[in-house]
Structure 1
Amino acid sequence: MSRSWTPKSIPQLTNEQESLLLERVCQYSLANGLVMYPPGFTISNADIAPVTLFPTPFPKDLFEHAVKVQKLFNSLYAQVVSGQREWLLEISKELAKFDRDFTGQLYKTYIESVELSGGKPLQPLSLGLFRSDYMYDEIEHSIKQIEFNTVSVSFGGLSTKVGKLHQYLNSNGSYNPTEKFYGEGIPVSNSINELALGLAAANAAYNDKVNKSQKPPVVLFIVQDNERNCFDQRHVEYALLDNHLTLSYRCTLEAAKEFTFIKDDKLYIKTTSEEVGVIYYRSGYSPLDYETDPELTWSNRLYLETTYAIKCPSLLTQLSGTKKVQQALTSAELVQSFMPELSSQATQELLDTFVKIYPFDDSEEGKIAKKLAFESPEKFVLKPQREGGGNNIYKENIPAFLNSIDESEWGAYILMEIINPPTYENKILRLGQVHQEHIILELGIFGTILFNEDTGEVLSNENAGHLLRSKVSSSNEGGVAAGFGCLDNVYLQ
């Protein structure tokens, strides 16, 4: 339902005040780890992460709505993986025909892992560190879901840092020397601690069920080589140790068999013989993560999957994050059949976040999608079954793209209504330069869920903080790590 909402403008500062603000932004960021490696980095050469100088207004009621429905989304996707496994596998099998090199390989590797484990995964417990992403629809005064991420959700670490940065600047008079310009309206995401808590809970569950030694298990981060965004990950790693006395190790997918060994179906760190309780994937979400040596990387993914370690995510949970599944879940009838215990109000709260998404197949809806893609492409975005920025085809580019590939490949995509959010004025610090821009926002809400893929039992289901990313209004893509956006934080009003 639409209503008027007038966002607060950024403070008007003198040149001297802005110079002092910029000094404080830079020094606070460097002192507190709000950093990334620049392209072509050396190990001692970090830079401040792309960040806004000011928080950006967001409607408080819609922020609270996004937080409220996150645990419902966690439960829905856990149900897709456990209670609706055959449905998910059928969708994945069909997608495998169109996207053989990635979705097809995920599906194939899952089937192989089940066969090797005697008909079902050795470890039924699965950990989801999820993030649901939204844009604000100004006309309807509502949030609309862009995507639901089930693997390698990023910026939980840096989100906490940018919130603290903006709160610090608001409190010390950088925005207004006489009072807090934003009042008490700048929340700080607790995502560092909450994501670490999710990993620690899974590690503890593994220890209770599997590990028989006195030495506690460890968490293994699977990371990309030369990871520029490693500090975001390190903040969660440090919280694991500080808050839960849980050690972490890092290795690439390519090096998994060199870095670890398996004994009695348990995974161990080769250099220390420590048992691995949780495998946390911050890699493996994109075809690029397998391209260095496809035979080795997919073999290593299978190797890790066929151990007792709890996966975050398992192959099946990762497959639940395809755009085709997201498209199917926009059906009220399907959501209600999957979660009949949900009240009509809770179901509606989920459905209110959806835009229209069409399959791109031979179904009746698929035929409508193919017609719309050519007749009114300006209203849509074409999305493949991929995570990370840079994969989508927007608006007027859709017809030419579809004509450039064989029609047999169209089934790998979904057609999603474009969300038209408002723009805001802000200033962005990127690579040492300040740019005044008109930006649009993407709100991410983190959640963690530990569940049993066989029985559907949920051991824990929690909210885990928020993330705000901004991008210049002229850019379609929004990935910070992919070079399209910047980190931001909400000012709630």
Structure 2
Amino acid sequence: MASDFQSDYRSQNDITNCSMVTAAFPQLEKSQEESLVDNLLQWSLANGLVIYPPNFKSYQPVSAPTTLYPTPFPKVAFQDAKDVQLLFNELYAKVASDEKFLFGIIDELAQFDSDFTGKLWETYIKAKNQGIVQPLSLGIFRSDYMVNEIEGKKPQIKQIEFNTVSVSFGGLSEKVGELHNYLNNHGDYSLDEDSSKFYKTEDLPISDSIKKLSDGLADGDYYYNNQKKSTGTIVLVVVQDRERNVFDQRLLEFALLSNHGIKSIRLTLSEIESKTFIEPNSKKLFIKSTNDEVSVVYFRSGYAPTDFNSQKDWDNRLILETSKAIKAPTLLTQLAGAKKIQQILTDEEIISKFITKNPETENNFSQLLDTFVAIYPLDNSPKGLDAKKLALETPDNFVLKPQREGGGNNIYKQDIPNFLKSIPEKDWAGYILMELIHPQHYQNKILRDGEIYNEPIISELGRFGTIVFNQESGEILSNNDAGWLLRSKFESSNEGGVAAGFGCVDSVVLN
């Protein structure tokens, strides 16, 4: 998923049901805030915390939307997200390696989303028939959480979704952490004349996701080359045309070159046929203009139907899938991230078929189970029939989700009954019904396009992970945590896409 921030939320009417936390932010005078904003914008432009605006020229980046201050996040919940990431990586790698399990789910699911999920599945079947020559897969994952605030209980992370394709903001997440640390160290948050720090340095961790995600790409190159350091092979980054979030991506590419000596090249899906070729016997993928061999195909597009403008784009996706290059992700790995799979994987009995609970993993296994909220199918199973009743009679407790990524697709609360009644009941099975999460909200400030917005925000923590695995055998070759991301948005907003104008990148102050 690219810059999506699909979050579950409490409406403005729910504010009276919980306390507002405000003490975590400095209360600056107007002149102090103006100085802070100047320093923030100049640091961002000087250090790559930038995006392109709509209708941009290539020389016109702007500061990415950010909060003025880091947002409080419970230490215990932050640690919980880290503790379970490797197990989540393994779980989804094992699911992506079980074609039989996926076949029974995706084959049925494809009929409800024929122009995207159906096309992904159709392309995989074609690839299988032609012959898939590369058994290895590279997962670059992100598990997204909100903290569920229940009075009298410790803060708990609750999983919103697990993303297996085109996860974004690994670059900018590190930069915004550096930004807030700079502003704190510089004294911009201080209320004292001596410009002392407002926050303790140890409470403002900085994600190392640029290094770790680029290390994950290097792992793919390493295993492609039979466990040898780069032999001159390159990474192909498949991107959207006129990508606005390009700098977030390029930060990983720059680190890949500087830390590992591995070059990258960027092509859109529509350029694959004309600018690459496959050696017939070895099925190795090469770039025509340079004759460079591609070790890893890293998808930063292809996660939504809008990324496929014609059948040619689907044919090009097939070309890549049947090449020898390691894909990040393969089609099966991408399909393993479907919402329906997420719903099924809330069942402990099913999870136990993929990952073994033993003395070493028992605590993390329990932590993983604790991240789930109730997720229901909307089919004709007993559980599905119960869910249909809940959706129509108590919709305020739920969000309705299709299989799509990319934002703008979820249906919330009172909108659910009318939506369901507007489509044939047989199509309801293409959706899942998910219990709403109840996050705390804070009176931070968002800076976008030079304008300050001051209203309650809620935040979503994403934890990155990288894993190389053999899809034929299920063997795990490498498995690593890869840092984190905090995104925040207006509490009153359903959606939260950063580039789309709903949210912003943020960093944590641990409490």
Common topology (TM > 0.5): yes
Alignment of 1:157 onto 2:175: no
CA contact under 8 A between 2:376 and 2:434: conserved in structure 1?
A: yes
Question: Equivalents in 1 of 2:228, 2:371: separation in Å?
Answer: 39
Q: Which runs of 5+ in 1 are unaligned?
A: none
Alignment of 1:114 onto 2:128: yes
Alignment of 1:333 onto 2:344: no
Question: Equivalents in 2 of 1:133, 1:71: separation in Å?
Answer: 14
Which residue among 228, 231, 253 is the counterpart of 2:247? 231
- Give the equivalent residue in structure 2 for 1:419: 437
CA contact under 8 A between 1:7 and 1:58: conserved in structure 2?
A: no
Q: 1:165 to 1:200 in 2, by over 3 A?
A: same
Moved more, 156-165 or 171-180: 171-180
- Give the equivalent residue in structure 2 for 1:137: 148
Shift of 1:158: 0.4
- Give the equivalent residue in structure 2 for 1:410: 428
Alignment of 1:284 onto 2:302: yes
Shift of 1:459: 1.0
SS in 2 for 1:426: coil
Q: Which runs of 5+ in 2 are unaligned?
A: 1-18
- Give the equivalent residue in structure 2 for 1:435: 453
Counterpart mapping for 1:67-466 below 5 A: 67-82=82-97, 84-117=98-131, 121-139=132-150, 140=153, 141-176=155-190, 177-184=194-201, 185-208=203-226, 215-263=231-279, 264=281, 265-290=283-308, 292-293=309-310, 295-342=311-358, 343-466=361-484
Question: Equivalents in 1 of 2:364, 2:70: separation in Å?
Answer: 30
Shift of 1:479: 2.0
Shift of 1:7: 7.2
CA contact under 8 A between 1:223 and 1:283: conserved in structure 2?
A: yes
Amino acid at match of 1:77: Y
SS in 2 for 1:208: coil
SS in 2 for 1:63: helix
Alignment of 1:12 onto 2:30: no
Amino acid at match of 2:69: F
Alignment of 1:22 onto 2:37: yes
Question: Equivalents in 2 of 1:108, 1:210: separation in Å?
Answer: 35
Name the % identity: 56
How far does the alpha carbon of each residue in 1:118-173 deviate from its partner, in whole angstroms, 9 at most, with x for none? Answer: xxx21010000000000011114211000000000000000010000001111111
Alignment of 1:61 onto 2:76: yes
SS in 2 for 1:425: coil
Length, aligned pairs only: 482
Question: Equivalents in 2 of 1:270, 1:367: separation in Å?
Answer: 55
Shift of 1:316: 0.4
CA contact under 8 A between 1:385 and 1:412: conserved in structure 2?
A: yes
SS in 2 for 1:337: coil
SS in 1 for 2:316: helix
Alignment of 1:42 onto 2:42: no
Q: 1:209 to 1:7 in 2, by over 3 A?
A: same
Question: Equivalents in 1 of 2:81, 2:196: separation in Å?
Answer: 30
Amino acid at match of 1:143: I
Q: TM-score, normalised by structure 1?
A: 0.95
Amino acid at match of 1:149: N
- Give the equivalent residue in structure 1 for 2:3: none
Shift of 1:178: 3.6
SS in 1 for 2:91: helix
Question: Equivalents in 2 of 1:375, 1:461: separation in Å?
Answer: 43
Moved more, 251-260 or 307-316: 251-260
How far does the alpha carbon of each residue in 1:168-196 deviate from its partner, in whole angstroms, 9 at most, with x for none? Answer: 11111111154221102111110111000
How far does the alpha carbon of each residue in 1:80-106 deviate from its partner, in whole angstroms, 9 at most, with x for none? Answer: 112x32111211111011111111111
Amino acid at match of 1:153: V
CA contact under 8 A between 2:225 and 2:231: conserved in structure 1?
A: no
Shift of 1:406: 2.0
SS in 1 for 2:364: helix
Shift of 1:5: 12
Shift of 1:447: 0.5
SS in 1 for 2:472: coil
Question: Equivalents in 2 of 1:491, 1:161: separation in Å?
Answer: 15
Question: Equivalents in 1 of 2:128, 2:20: separation in Å?
Answer: 52
Question: Equivalents in 2 of 1:43, 1:479: separation in Å?
Answer: 22
CA contact under 8 A between 2:357 and 2:365: conserved in structure 1?
A: no
Shift of 1:6: 6.8
CA contact under 8 A between 1:207 and 1:216: conserved in structure 2?
A: no
CA contact under 8 A between 2:339 and 2:403: conserved in structure 1?
A: yes
Question: Equivalents in 2 of 1:331, 1:489: separation in Å?
Answer: 32
Q: 1:210 to 1:96 in 2, by over 3 A?
A: farther
CA contact under 8 A between 1:468 and 1:489: conserved in structure 2?
A: yes
Question: Equivalents in 2 of 1:198, 1:337: separation in Å?
Answer: 27
CA contact under 8 A between 1:360 and 1:413: conserved in structure 2?
A: yes
CA contact under 8 A between 2:83 and 2:364: conserved in structure 1?
A: no
SS in 2 for 1:296: helix
Shift of 1:210: 10
Amino acid at match of 1:255: E
- Give the equivalent residue in structure 2 for 1:490: 508
SS in 1 for 2:483: strand
Shift of 1:376: 0.7
Q: Which has the higher contact order (CA 8 A, sep 6+)?
A: 2
CA contact under 8 A between 1:38 and 1:47: conserved in structure 2?
A: yes
Amino acid at match of 1:27: Q
Question: Equivalents in 1 of 2:460, 2:176: separation in Å?
Answer: 15
